[in-house]
Structure 1
Amino acid sequence: MTTPRSFTRLVFPRFTLACSALVAAMCVSLLGGVSLTFTPPANAQSVRGLPDFTELVEQVGPSVVNIRTLEKAAVRETQGNGPDEEMQELFRRFFGVPMPSPNAPRQQRPNRPQQPEQEQPRGVGSGFILSSDGFVMTNAHVVDGADQVLVTLPDKREFKARIVGSDKRSDVAVVKIEATGLPAVKIGDVNRLKVGEWVMAIGSPFGLENSVTAGIVSAKQRDTGDYLPFIQTDVAINPGNSGGPLINMRGEVVGINSQIYSRSGGFMGISFSIPIDEAVRVSEQLRATGRVQRGRLGVQIDQVSKEVAESLGLSKPQGALVRGVEQGSPAEKAGLEPGDIILKFDGKTLDKSADLPRLVGNTKPGTRANLQIWRRGSLRDLAITVGEFEADKPEKKASAPVEKPQTANATKVLGLTVSDLTDAQKKELKLRGGVRVDAVAEPAARAGIQEGDVILALANVETPTAQAFDAMVAKLDRSKTVSVLIRRGEWAQYTVIRPNR
C-alpha cells in the first residue's frame, strides 16, 4: 500500500528535524563528549487546532427548517418520470428556466381535454425560526410564485405556512406557521464579523435536510450589483441552501445564504449571504405592514472614475455621479442637476456610488436630509425630502435638430460638429442650454461621444450655445485632456477627450 502524498507532507518534515538533532548530538559526543540539548527555533509555533462545530449544530440545528413550495399546474401525460424537484430548483434558480422533461411530448396531442390543475412540487429551500410563535425567515426567491408553502421542522413536523411578506429587492421573505414554543435563533452582530473568521451553514442542499457545511468569511461588503452588500464566504452552498442561516462560532446567525458564483449551477467556492442586520430591518417591516418602504431621490447615478475626478478637481474618485434627474422627483425639486457629484448623504460620506441607494433606501420616505455635492469645481449643500421608491421611468430621446451652424474650432480640435438646441428641445429635456452633437470624428469618437448627444459643459463650464462652445474650444490647452459633460436620453455622464494638437 502506497503512502498518500498528503500524509507524507504532514509527517516528513518532523521526522527529518528529529534525525538531524540526533546526528548532531552523536557528532558532538564523539568529538568531545559534550552533551547537546536540542532547542526548537524561537519562531516555532504550535499548530492551532481546527474548530469543533458539533456544539453549534446541536444549538442551532433545531431552528433550521426545510421549505417546500407547490404551484398549481395542469397534469400532462408523460412516459416515465419527469425531473425531480431538486433538479427543477437548480435549473430555476441558477439558469432562470425550468428543466424540460426528457420524456415530455414535443407537441400537445390534438382533441385532448384540458386536465384539471393540481399542485405540483415547485422547489426546495431552507429557512430558520425567527420567533417562538412561528415566524420563519427565508429568501424571497424561495417562495416567489408559490401557491402553497410547506415548512418541515427537524423533528419532522410539517406545517402549511402563510407568506407574511416578500421583498424581491433584498431577497428576504417572512412566512408564518401556526405553532408555539419553537426554538428561535440568536441574531448576531455583523459589525463584529471579521474576514477569515470561521462560519457554518445549515440547510437543505438538493433536498438533503439539515446538511452542515463550514468555511471562512472571504470578504465583507461585497458588491454584486444587487441592492445589498453581501458577505462572501467559501462555505459550500448549493441549490436548496437558499434561505438557510450563516452562523458564527458563537452560535449566532450573521447572514442568510442567498447566492453562489457558478458556471455550472453547482458550488465553485464562492458563496454570498445577506447580512442579517439588513435582513432583520426588512423583516420587521414585512411583519408590520407586509411590504417594505424605501426612500428614493429620483436620480440615475454612475461611478466616478479616476479620470473624471482629476478633470473636475476632486482629490480622489469618490461619490456618485448624477447622470440624470427624473422629472418631478425629489432630486429635481431639490435642485440636483446632471453632472453633479453627490459626496455626502445626510452627513455620511459616499466612498462609491453604490453607497447612495443603500443609504437612501434605508431612509424613511418623507425624511428631510442634506446632500453635499460637487458642481463645477466647488462644494454645495442641498436640502432634499426623500420620496418613496417606485419603478424607473422610460427614457426619452431628443428631437432632431433644426439648425446646424458650423463650429470650425470644435471640429478641428475635438472632432465635433454641434448646433444649438431648439426651444422645443430645451423644454422637452428641461435644459437651460447645451449644444447637440451633429457629427463625430476623432478624438471625440474615441471618447465615446455619439451623434445626438447633448453637451452640457466643457471643462466645468456650461455650454449655452454652439457659438460659445466653439469659442471655449479655441482657448483650450491642447496638451491636456478636457472633461465633457454629455446628456444621452434622460441621463448624463462625464467623458474625457484628448484634443488634437
Structure 2
Amino acid sequence: MKAHLRTYVSTLLVVLLGSHALAAQAQLPDFTELVEEASPAVVNISTRQKMPARGQSQLMIPDLEGLPPLFREFFERNLPQVPRNGRQPEAQSLGSGFIISDDGYVLTNNHVVADADEILVRMSDRSELEAKLVGADPRSDVALLKIEGKNLPTVKLGKSENLKVGEWVLAIGSPFGFDYSVTAGIVSAKGRSLPNESYVPFIQTDVAINPGNSGGPLFNLDGEVVGINSQIFTRSGGFMGLSFAIPITVALDVANQLKETGKVSRGWLGVVIQEVNKDLAESFGLDRPAGALVAQVLEDGPAAKGGLRVGDVILSLDGHPIVMSSDLPHRVGILKPGSKTRLEVMREGQRRTLNVTIGALPEEGEPLAMPRGNNGAERSSNRLGVTVIELTEEQRKSLDLQGGVVIKEVQGGPAVAIGLRPGDVITHLNNQAIKSSQHFAQVAKDLPKNRSVSMRVLRQGRASFITFKLAE
C-alpha cells in the first residue's frame, strides 16, 4: 500500500512540475512571427571614408623583400597598408538602420554615417543600394537617409511614450557584422539622461547591444518600432546589460524636421540648472528633493525676459512635474521656438507661476550670452570662517553682477568643510541676493542653526548652489 502511495505521489509531483514548466513556458513571448515580418525592413549600413594619402616624405615604407620571415611578418602586421594600385585607403564602419517609408527613407544613428563619403545600404536579399544623407542631428544622434526604390518593405511605427518598464522588447541588427542578429530583453527604465545628451530621454533596456547594432530598431511585442538602439554602457567594450535607445517619437520629430528644412530647431530657456538634493530642498523650503534649481540665467535669454531668477526652483512645465533636473531639457527641447509655456517655480518659500516665451536653442559653436547675476571694506564672518571683500568694478563688469562679494581668505569652519576657496564669488546666501560685504556680514550673522542653508558661488564664471549647516 505504501509503495503504491509513493508511486502515486511521485507521479503527481512530476505532473505538477511539468504543468508548472509548461505554464512558465507559455508566459514567455514567441518572437518568431515578429522577426519574420520585421526583418525585411531592417538594413545593414556600411560607409566609406577616403583617408588622406601620405607622400613618401611623410611615411617611409621599408622594403620588406629579403627580410627574415619573422621580421617581415611583424612589419606587415604593424605598418599601415598602402594599396599597390595607388588608390587612397578607405575607412569602413558597420551599423544598422530601418526603412520607415516604402519610397526609401531610412533611419539610423548619426554616428554610424558621420563624415562618410559614401553610404551603402544592404537589404535582406543581399542587394546593395547607395544612400543619400538627407540630414543628421548630432544632438539626438539621429540621421535620415534616402535610397531609391518603390514598394519597399517598411517597419510599423509605435509610440514610445506608451512603453512600460518591465515590458518585453526586441532588437534586430548587425553586431560585429553578423547580419540580422536578434536579441531580446525588457525595458529597464525610461527617461534616462546620459552625459552630454541633454535632449534625449533614453529608453534603458537589458537587450544585448554591441557595436554594429547602432541605428537598428527596438521593437515591442506588437512588432512596432519604439526606439533606435544607440548606446551601451560598458567598461569592457562589449555588452554589460545596460543599453540605451532613442525613443521613436523623438527620432521621428527629428526626421520630419530634417526632411522639411534640413535642420532641427529646439526650444531653449537660457538657464543653467542643477539637481536639488535633500539639503538644498530643505534650504529652499521644499518638502522633498525635486525640481530644477536655476543656478544661472543668461542675459536677454527667454528665461530672463520671462522673469525667472537665480535661486528659483522649477517644479513643473505646462503641468508636467520636473522631478529630476534632467527632466527639464527634455521638456523644453520638444517645444517650438516662439511658443508660450507655463512654469511653476518655488521662490523665497512661495509657489509662483511664470509665463515664458520659448526661444530657439543656439547652433552648436554659437556663443551664448554671459550669465546674468543678481543683486565692497573688508568684512569677516567668524560663523562661516571666511573673509570677504567687495568686487572691483572690473570684476562686476566681467561677471555682469550688480552685487556679491569675493572671498579673500578661508580661515576655517564651515567654509573649509564645503570647499570654498579664495577668489570664489558669493552672490546669494540663505536665499538672499548679497548686495555688499556689509550685507553679507548681516545675513551670515542671522543664519539659522541646525538647518540646511544654501549659498550660490561663482567659480571661474560657473555658478552652483551648495548647502551647509551651522552647529549650535
- Give the conservation status (yes or no) of the 8 Å contact 1:414–1:500: no
Distance in 2, matches of 1:431 and 1:214, equals 54
Q: State the SS of the aligned residue for 2:244.
A: strand
Tell me the residue number matched to 1:137.
107
Tell me the residue number matched to 2:6.
23
Distance 1:184 1:381, change over 3 A: same
Tell me the residue number matched to 2:24.
47
Pairing 1:198-277 to 2, within 5 Å after superposition: 198-225=168-195, 226=197, 227-277=199-249
Deviations 1:404-429 (A, max 9, x none): 5132xx1x111111112234433433
Distance in 2, matches of 1:341 and 1:288, equals 37
- Cα distance, 1:245 vs. partner? 0.6
Tell me the residue number matched to 1:291.
263
Q: State the SS of the aligned residue for 2:194.
A: coil
Mean Cα deviation higher: 316-325 or 386-395: 386-395
Tell me the residue number matched to 1:68.
46
Distance in 1, matches of 2:321 and 2:408, equals 39
- Give the conservation status (yes or no) of the 8 Å contact 1:456–1:486: yes
Q: State the one-letter code of the partner of 1:232.
A: Q
Distance 1:268 1:22, change over 3 A: farther
Pairing 1:440-459 to 2, within 5 Å after superposition: 440=410, 441-459=412-430
Distance 1:213 1:102, change over 3 A: farther
Q: State the one-letter code of the partner of 1:453.
A: D
Tell me the residue number matched to 2:443.
472
2:132 aligned residue (152, 155, 162): 162
Q: State the SS of the aligned residue for 2:213.
A: coil
- Cα distance, 1:126 vs. partner? 0.5
Q: State the one-letter code of the partner of 2:6.
A: V
Q: State the one-letter code of the partner of 1:437.
A: I
Tell me the residue number matched to 1:176.
146
1:405 aligned residue (353, 378, 388): 378
More strand by share: 2
Distance 1:335 1:192, change over 3 A: closer
Distance 1:70 1:39, change over 3 A: closer
> Cα RMSD between the aligned structures?
3.2
Identity of aligned residues (%): 47
1:103 aligned residue (65, 69, 77): 77
Tell me the residue number matched to 1:58.
36
Distance 1:102 1:495, change over 3 A: farther
Mean Cα deviation higher: 126-135 or 353-362: 353-362
- Give the conservation status (yes or no) of the 8 Å contact 2:207–2:241: yes
Distance in 2, matches of 1:380 and 1:132, equals 50
Q: State the one-letter code of the partner of 1:413.
A: R
- Cα distance, 1:139 vs. partner? 0.5
Distance 1:479 1:185, change over 3 A: closer
- Cα distance, 1:450 vs. partner? 2.3
Q: State the SS of the aligned residue for 1:229.
A: strand
1:430 aligned residue (375, 381, 400): 400
Q: State the SS of the aligned residue for 1:150.
A: strand
- The answer to whether structure 1 residue 463 and structure 2 residue 434 are counterparts is yes
Length, aligned pairs only: 440
- Cα distance, 1:119 vs. partner? 6.2
Distance in 1, matches of 2:113 and 2:24, equals 45
- Cα distance, 1:467 vs. partner? 1.2
TM-score, normalising length from structure 2? 0.85
1:364 aligned residue (304, 314, 336): 336
Distance 1:437 1:117, change over 3 A: farther
Distance 1:265 1:367, change over 3 A: same
Deviations 1:10-41 (A, max 9, x none): xxxxxxxxx99932869xxxxxxxxx999969
Tell me the residue number matched to 1:152.
122
2:165 aligned residue (177, 195, 202): 195
Q: State the SS of the aligned residue for 2:421.
A: coil
The structure number with the bigger radius of gyration is 1
Distance in 1, matches of 2:432 and 2:78, equals 65
1:281 aligned residue (253, 272, 275): 253
TM-score, normalising length from structure 1? 0.80
